Amino acid sequence: MKITFLEVEKEDRKKIKQKFPQAQIISGVLSEKEIIKKCRETEILCIFIYNKISEKVINNLTNLKLIITRSVGYDHIDLKTAKKRKVAICNVPDYGSHVIAEHVFALLLSGLRHIPEGDLRVEKKHQFTFQGLRGIALKGKTLGIIGTGKIGADVARIASLGFMMKVIAFDPHPNKKFALENNFLYKTLNKIWSDSDIISLHCPLLLITKHLINNKSISQMKQGVIIINTSRGEIIKTEALIKGLKQGKIQYAFLDVLEHEKNINKNKELIKLPNVTTTPHIAFYADDSMKKMYDEAFVSINCFLQGKKLIHQVYGL
C-alpha cells in the first residue's frame, strides 16, 4: 500500500524508514497542485498542520483511503469532502499536552521577568544592574483559561498548584471533578474577560471560536490584562489585539501562533510592538512530543493495514 509522509524534518526520516521502508517522504509545505502531483498514487497520507488537504486535493487523490494528521487539530483537512469520499481521518489527540503547557509558562515568565532584556543587558552592554527590569509575580494573580482539554487542564494544574495562582476557566464541557482536584473554578466567558489578570487560550479553531478575542471581548477585560495564545492564531483578531496593546488595555501579548502565519508580513505591526513576545509555533516542539506524534501516527497506520479499529478516528469509513 502506497504511504506518503509530508512535512518531515531531516531528523525524523530515519524513524519513518525503519517502520515503513517503502514510504514516500517529502519535506516542506506543498501547494495543492504539488500535493496532487506527488501523491497521486497515495493510499495513506500522513501530514502535519501546514499542508492543506482541501476538497480539490481529496477529490484528485482517487486512491486515498486514510489521512493521518500528526496534530490535535484537523481544521486543515476538508472533513466534509473526506466523509463524502469515505476517506478515514485520524489525528494525534495528545502528543504531549505538558510540553505546550510548559511553553505557556516559559513565555509568561520570560516576558514578565524580562529575561531577554536582562540577558542582553549583561551580555552585550556589560551592565549588571536591575533598574528598569522590575517584573510581575504570578502568585495571587487570576489566570483565566479558555478550554480545559488536556493542554488547558495541565496549565490549570501548574498555575494553581505550582504557582499558587487563582485559576478560573471556561469550557462548554466542564470537568468539575478535575477542577475540584486542582483547585480552580469554572466561570462564564464574561467572567473570564472581566476577572482575569492573565488569559490563556486553549480552545480549538471553530466557527464559534474564530476571532473570540475581538474588540468587544477586549473591552470587557481588565485594564492591563495579559494574553497568551498557544492554540490557533485565528482565535485572536489581529487588528483588535494591536489596538488593545497600543491603548494600554492589554499590557502584554505572548504568542506562539499568529493569525497570518503563512504571510508573516501581515503580522509586522503586531510583532514589532515592544510589549509583544512571539515564538514561531514551537510550543509543541520538544523531543518527547515529536516522538509521540510519529509513534501515534504509526499505530493508526498499522491498525489500518491490519484491518483493526482505528483508535484515533475523527471520521471513519
pLDDT digits (tens, 9 = 90+) for 265-309: 999 999 999 999 999 999 999 988 999 999 999 999 999 999 999
Helix (H) / strand (E) containing 199: strand 198-201
Helices (H), 202-310: 215-219, 238-247, 268-271, 287-305
- Look-up: residue for cell 514516500? 24
User: Whose CA is closest to 117, among 131, 104, 101?
Assistant: 131
- Look-up: residue for cell 511553553? 103
pLDDT digits (tens, 9 = 90+) for 54-109: 999 999 999 999 999 999 889 899 999 999 999 999 999 888 899 999 999 999 99
pLDDT digits (tens, 9 = 90+) for 2-23: 999 999 999 999 999 999 999 9
Q: Hey, is 85 helix, strand or coil?
A: helix
**What b/e string do you get for 10-40 counting C-beta neighbours within 10 Å, with b at 16 or more?**
eebeeebeeebeebbbbeebbeeeebbeebe
Burial group, residue 225, by CB count within 10 angstroms (0-12, 13-18, 19+) = buried
Give the pLDDT of residue 275: 96
Active site residue 232: yes
pLDDT digits (tens, 9 = 90+) for 142-166: 999 999 999 999 999 999 999 999 9
Average pLDDT value for residue range 183-193 = 97
- pTM for the whole structure: 0.84
Strands 44-47 and 66-69: parallel
Strand-pair partners of 77: 53
Average pLDDT value for residue range 230-253 = 97
The CATH class that applies to domain 97-278 reads alpha beta
Q: Does domain 3-95+287-315 sit in CATH 3.40.50.720?
A: yes
Give the pLDDT of residue 78: 96
Cell numbers at 83, concatenated: 466523509
Domains 3-95+287-315 and 97-278 alike in fold: yes
**Of these residues, 98, 113, 114, 281, which one is catalytic?**
281
Cα dihedral value 267, 109, 212, 186, nearest 10: 170
CA distance 204 to 227: 17
Burial group, residue 190, by CB count within 10 angstroms (0-12, 13-18, 19+) = exposed
CA distance 96 to 287: 10
Return mean pLDDT, the chain. 95
Domain boundaries, the chain: 3-95+287-315, 97-278
Tell whether the torsion through CA atoms of 120, 126, 131 and 136 is positive or negative.
positive
Strands 313-315 and 88-90: antiparallel
CA distance 307 to 289: 27
User: What percent of the chain is helix, strand and coil (3-state, nearest 5)?
Assistant: 40, 15, 45
Cell numbers at 128, concatenated: 549588571
Cα dihedral value 67, 52, 208, 282, nearest 10: 90
**Of these residues, 232, 234, 259, 296, which one is catalytic?**
232
φ, ψ of residue 306 to 5 degrees: the values are: -95, 5
Q: Hey, is 312 helix, strand or coil?
A: coil
Report how far Cα 91 is from the mean position of its chain's Cα atoms. 14
Q: What is the largest CA-CA distance in the chain?
A: 65
CA distance 103 to 300: 28
Report how far Cα 41 is from the mean position of its chain's Cα atoms. 31
CA distance 212 to 235: 5
| Single-letter residue type at 72 | V
Active site residue 281: yes
Give the pLDDT of residue 4: 98
Residue % of the chain over a pLDDT of 70: 99
Give the pLDDT of residue 316: 56
Q: Does residue 242 surpass a pLDDT of 70?
A: yes
Average pLDDT value for residue range 123-147 = 95
